């Protein structure tokens, strides 16, 4: 047992460090702690213990806390203790309790410079997790079970007991005559995990596969390896073919569709996680369906974000990007928004030199402009007389010609005087306001888009 544990620690590269051991007082965490003590000198380790009392089981919770406190004193190992009133918080109690525990463990690991946080999950826990996720309809990530190591906020959470079945742990604890406390809630089959543990798995072991724990654990291990490969491909795709802007994320449709279905799922899931949007099968499937939809088709991702397919891209954008624009200037001045800065001022300059294709600065005839000047969003039916062209043109048609994404149309300011559009800011001025050899007074129009 101890040699096997030593190999597990070596595989996880747990050495020459201080380890924060999460201890509940149950058999798994007691054995984990004692196995660490057995290999301490060989691996040059120091320890701290951390315990969270969630106050969910009354006197039993206090009993567990007292047991852990006495255990730390007996072994002369410092203990960090948190008492959290978990039951009075809204939501899933088990999920909330888990979040509280890990947040506390990470805080203490950072405070005391513990590179590793060790938890006592075992092979049975892994098998139960796989089945729970299978019944919920989880993907490959859920079916890969509990990771032997993962990194949260720079801290490595390690689970060296994942190599051991619960029966091995119990046998070892009895052999060494360790004391531990029992969690009576583990016997209550109203909890799904307990039902799987106490009812379902024993029936499978008896009637179908006596080695089901080993089988499920091996399955989780294989799926975990496949998950690693998928995540690597996902990361490579995002780095090459996903453009991240301040208020939007653009995904190349052509390149996205070259990926296998599972990689596509991972890409969308990763983007949603980056945007702090809770992903679900329904949401991810709705987003994937956009790739077979017409330009402009969209779906809501959250209260603040929308996904839309448009001109070769899947675009995630903040909903407020397309909010209507409306300002008025009664004299020359500036307007600043989260998306752009606009200035309108008199100038003695009669011409400007273009930098490449930039149209962010224009000069117009001041005597053809009357204040107030209106700055607003495009509306259906708007038209203007594009500079250098004969006749009027619908702005919607101009947008199509310029291949301007639908999500961007409402965010382009239109500069207007006397109900005549002077300038599609950053694109084209109106022929009626251009400077000529008769122009005596000049106005400079300038816009700076912040997300370019």
Condensed to tens digits (0 to 9), the pLDDT of residues 375-399 reads 998 888 899 999 988 888 999 889 8
**pLDDT the model gives residue 89:** 74
Residue 77: pLDDT band (50, 70, 90) is very high
Q: CA 295, CA 308: separation in Å to the nearest integer? A: 8
**pLDDT the model gives residue 356:** 47
Residue 320 burial (10 A CB sphere; 0-12, 13-18, 19+): exposed
Q: What pLDDT, in 10s, does the model give residues 90-116?
A: 777 888 999 999 999 999 999 999 999
Task: Say whether pLDDT at 322 is over 70.
Answer: no
Residue 157: pLDDT band (50, 70, 90) is very high
Residue 350: pLDDT band (50, 70, 90) is confident
Q: Write b or e for each residue in 253-268: b if 16 or more Cβ atoms lie within 10 A of its Cβ, otherwise e.
A: beebeebeebbbbbbb
Pair 377, 340: CB distance under 8 Å: no
Q: CA 202, CA 210: separation in Å to the nearest integer? A: 9
Please give the backbone phi and psi of residue 76, each rounded to the nearest 5 degrees, phi first. 55, 45
Pair 200, 110: CB distance under 8 Å: no
Residues 6 or more apart whose Cβ sits within 8 Å of residue 88: none
Domains in the chain, CATH or no CATH each: 2-222 (3.40.50.620), 245-320 (3.30.465.60), 324-449 (3.50.40.10)
**pLDDT the model gives residue 428:** 92
pLDDT (mean) for 257-277: 92
Pair 24, 69: CB distance under 8 Å: no
**pLDDT the model gives residue 94:** 84
According to DSSP, the β-strands at 442-449 and 361-365 are antiparallel
**pLDDT the model gives residue 337:** 83
85 versus 173: the higher-pLDDT residue is 173
pLDDT (mean) for 62-89: 93
Residue 381 burial (10 A CB sphere; 0-12, 13-18, 19+): exposed
Task: Say whether pLDDT at 257 is over 50.
Answer: yes
pTM: 0.65
Task: Say whether pLDDT at 234 is over 60.
Answer: yes
Q: What pLDDT, in 10s, does the model give residues 410-451?
A: 788 999 999 999 999 989 999 999 999 999 999 999 999 876
Residues 6 or more apart whose Cβ sits within 8 Å of residue 212: 127, 201, 204, 205
Q: CA 277, CA 290: separation in Å to the nearest integer? A: 18
Task: Say whether pLDDT at 18 is over 50.
Answer: yes
**pLDDT the model gives residue 128:** 94
Q: What pLDDT, in 10s, does the model give residues 183-210?
A: 888 888 888 899 999 999 999 999 999 9
**pLDDT the model gives residue 451:** 61
Q: CA 363, CA 351: separation in Å to the nearest integer? A: 7
Q: What pLDDT, in 10s, does the model give residues 272-312?
A: 999 989 888 889 999 999 999 888 788 889 888 889 888 78
């Amino acid at each position: 047992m101890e040699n096997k544990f030593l190999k597990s620690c070596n595989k996880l590269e747990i050495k020459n460090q201080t380890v924060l051991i999460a201890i509940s007082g149950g058999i798994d965490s007691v054995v984990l702690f004692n196995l660490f003590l057995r290999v301490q000198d060989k691996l040059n380790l120091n320890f701290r213990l951390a315990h969270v009392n969630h106050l969910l089981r009354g006197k039993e919770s206090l009993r567990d806390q007292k047991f852990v406190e006495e255990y730390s004193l007996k072994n002369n190992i410092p203990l960090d203790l948190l008492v959290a009133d978990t039951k009075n918080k809204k939501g899933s109690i088990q999920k909330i309790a888990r979040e509280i525990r890990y947040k506390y463990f990470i805080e203490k690991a950072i405070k005391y410079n513990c590179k590793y946080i060790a938890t006592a999950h075992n092979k049975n826990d892994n098998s139960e997790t796989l089945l729970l996720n299978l019944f919920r309809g989880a993907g490959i990530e859920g079916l890969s079970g509990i990771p032997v190591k993962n990194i949260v906020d720079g801290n490595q959470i390690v689970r060296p007991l994942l190599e051991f079945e619960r029966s091995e742990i119990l046998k070892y604890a009895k052999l060494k005559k360790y004391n531990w406390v029992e969690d009576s809630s583990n016997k209550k089959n109203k909890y799904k995990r307990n039902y799987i543990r106490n009812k379902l798995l024993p029936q499978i072991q008896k009637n179908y596969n006596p080695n089901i724990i080993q089988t499920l654990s091996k399955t989780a291990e294989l799926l975990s390896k496949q998950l690693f490969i998928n995540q690597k491909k996902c990361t490579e795709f995002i780095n090459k073919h996903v453009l991240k802007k301040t208020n939007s994320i653009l995904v190349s449709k052509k390149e996205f569709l070259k990926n296998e279905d599972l990689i596509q799922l991972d890409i969308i899931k990763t983007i949603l996680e980056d945007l702090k949007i809770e992903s679900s099968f329904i949401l991810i499937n709705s987003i994937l369906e956009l790739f077979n939809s017409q330009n402009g088709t969209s779906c809501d991702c959250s209260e603040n974000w929308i996904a839309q397919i448009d001109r070769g891209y899947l675009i995630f954008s903040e909903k407020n990007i397309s909010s209507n624009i409306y300002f008025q200037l009664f004299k020359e001045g500036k307007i600043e928004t989260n998306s752009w800065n606009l200035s309108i001022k008199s100038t003695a300059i009669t011409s400007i030199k273009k930098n490449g294709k930039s149209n962010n600065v224009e000069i117009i005839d001041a005597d053809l402009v009357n204040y107030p000047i209106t700055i607003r969003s495009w509306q259906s039916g708007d038209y203007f007389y594009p500079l250098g062209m004969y006749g009027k043109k619908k702005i919607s048609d101009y947008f199509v010609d310029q291949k301007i994404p639908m999500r961007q149309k409402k965010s382009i300011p239109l500069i207007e005087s006397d109900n005549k559009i002077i300038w599609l800011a950053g694109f084209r001025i109106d022929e009626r306001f251009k400077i000529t050899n008769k122009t005596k007074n000049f106005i400079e129009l300038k816009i700076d888009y912040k997300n370019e």
